[in-house]
Amino acid sequence: MYVIMVYDVNVQRVSKVLHIGRRYLTWVQNSVMEGSLTNAQFKRLKSEIRQVIEEDEDSVLFYTIRSPKDVRREEIGIAKGTPSNFV
């Protein structure tokens, strides 16, 4: 599946969330990551994120798409990240 992760977390936890996310996904823009994951990888990612964030204070959104072929991405302006695994 193709996953887009968007996060808005307390500044004290940003680097931890970014570090976890980069093990699974490609950073594309401030607080946005994307990439292809297996179901098992997706479960591990969510579990690791839950261990770091404060659910009553932070927010992490996951958008899942069945196939990277179903994604259309259009960019305007400066590119902040290049998803190496984007089809």
> Which two three-digit tokens encode residue 72?
């259309």
DSSP string covering 14-81, please? HHHHHHHHHHHSEEEETTEEEEE--HHHHHHHHHHHHHHS-TTT-EEEEEEES-GGG------S----
Provide Rg for the chain, Cα atoms: 13
Q: Is 70 annotated as a binding residue?
A: no
Instruction: Please report, in range form, the residues annotated as the binding site for Mg(2+).
Output: 8
Instruction: Please report, in range form, the residues annotated as the binding site.
Output: 8
